[in-house]
């Protein structure tokens, strides 16, 4: 079915008096397998403007076309998956420019864009600067990014979100893009805060350590008993 298209293309070029041209089309090889070629050529005309000679070369671009089609199919599958997810899903260029946002972002913020200026308006000032610092560090050093902050919705209410992004590298190690999500963690944050208020006002000594024996939480009764501020304990081992 490419033959009429190729013939019509050549006829249009000659009618327009075009000298140089290029065209992609499919062919059947000796094994009757479909391949793709790129034809580049030149048309020579006589003094009356009639085409008298066509010369050119063809390049086998089958592999290039197959790669592009595979990438396109992969991107379409990714977008279908991303649009079905409850989180905000985004893809950024190597320097952080937005390439893709799923519909969750627009549904929550009411915005079609997600620029630094948008985040500055939507994130409280005291949380925006640490967010920006972490993101700039990730861009500069190429490491994974994670940050928690409040984000204003189109209804004017703020909710807590966890932002994550990982760099996707090419075969040479260079960052080709960033893929990430924004997950609503508002319920978890509120539950944690309520638990903290309860435990802080408890009359018993409460402390929580991670698997390496470092303090991650102490209540007021605990710090009062041992006469120390919470910041002097958090992150230290029990034996310290």
Q: What is the spatial distance between Cα 209 and Cα 215, in angstroms, rounded to a whole number?
A: 4
pLDDT attached to residue 158? 96
Average pLDDT, the chain: 86
pLDDT attached to residue 113? 94
**Tokens coding 201:** 């006002």
Q: Is the pLDDT of residue 43 over 90?
A: no
Q: Is the pLDDT of residue 57 over 70?
A: yes
pLDDT attached to residue 68? 73
135, 145 in Cβ contact below 8 A?
Answer: yes
Instruction: Extract the runs of DSSP E, i.e. beta strands, from the chain.
Output: 20-28, 34-45, 51-60, 88-92, 98-101, 145-152, 158-169, 175-184, 207-209, 215-218
Please give the C-alpha separations between residue 72 and each of 100, 109, 166, 169, 215, in angstroms, as whole numbers: 14, 29, 21, 18, 49
pLDDT (mean) for 51-69 = 82
∠ CA 190-133-120, nearest 5°, is 65
pLDDT (mean) for 210-237 = 75
Instruction: Give the pLDDT confidence of 147-206 residue by residue, as tens digits.
Output: 999 999 999 999 999 999 999 998 888 999 999 999 998 888 777 676 666 666 666 676
Nearest to 99 by CA among 114, 110, 119, 86: 114
Instruction: Extract the runs of DSSP E, i.e. beta strands, from 185-236.
Output: 207-209, 215-218
Q: Is the pLDDT of residue 125 over 90?
A: yes
pLDDT (mean) for 9-20 = 87
Let me know if 165 is exposed, middle or buried by CB neighbors in 10 A (0-12, 13-18, 19+). Answer: buried
pLDDT attached to residue 200? 65
Q: Is the pLDDT of residue 121 over 70?
A: yes
100, 85 in Cβ contact below 8 A?
Answer: no
pLDDT attached to residue 131? 95
Q: Is the pLDDT of residue 233 over 80?
A: no
pLDDT attached to residue 73? 82
- Count other Cβ atoms within 10 Å, centred on residue 164: 14
pLDDT attached to residue 196? 66
Q: Is the pLDDT of residue 209 over 90?
A: no
Q: Which of 20-34, 69-83, 116-130, 224-238 has the lowest mean pLDDT?
A: 224-238
pLDDT attached to residue 71? 66
pLDDT (mean) for 84-105 = 93
> HSE (CB half, 13 Å, CA atoms) of 203?
0
145 against 62, higher pLDDT: 145
């Amino acid at each position: 079915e490419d033959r009429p298209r190729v013939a019509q293309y050549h006829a249009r070029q000659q009618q327009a008096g075009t000298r140089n041209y290029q065209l992609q089309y499919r062919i059947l090889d000796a094994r009757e397998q479909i391949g793709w070629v790129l034809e580049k050529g030149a048309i020579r005309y006589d003094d009356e403007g009639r085409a008298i000679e066509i010369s050119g070369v063809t390049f086998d671009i089958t592999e290039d076309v197959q790669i592009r089609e595979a990438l396109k199919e992969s991107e379409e599958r990714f977008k279908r998956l991303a649009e079905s997810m409850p989180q905000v899903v985004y893809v950024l260029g190597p320097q952080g420019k937005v390439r893709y946002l799923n519909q969750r972002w627009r549904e929550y913020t009411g915005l079609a864009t997600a620029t630094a200026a948008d985040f500055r308006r939507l994130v409280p000032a005291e949380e925006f600067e640490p967010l920006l610092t972490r993101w700039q560090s990730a861009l500069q050093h190429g490491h994974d990014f994670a940050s928690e902050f409040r984000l204003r919705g189109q209804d004017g209410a703020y909710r807590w979100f966890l932002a994550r992004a990982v760099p996707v590298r090419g075969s040479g190690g260079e960052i080709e893009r960033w893929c990430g999500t924004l997950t609503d963690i508002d319920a978890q944050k509120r539950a944690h805060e309520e638990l903290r208020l309860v435990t802080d006002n408890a009359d018993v000594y409460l402390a929580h350590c991670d698997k390496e024996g470092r303090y991650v939480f102490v209540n007021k009764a605990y710090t009062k008993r041992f006469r120390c501020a919470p910041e002097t304990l958090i992150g230290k081992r029990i034996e310290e």
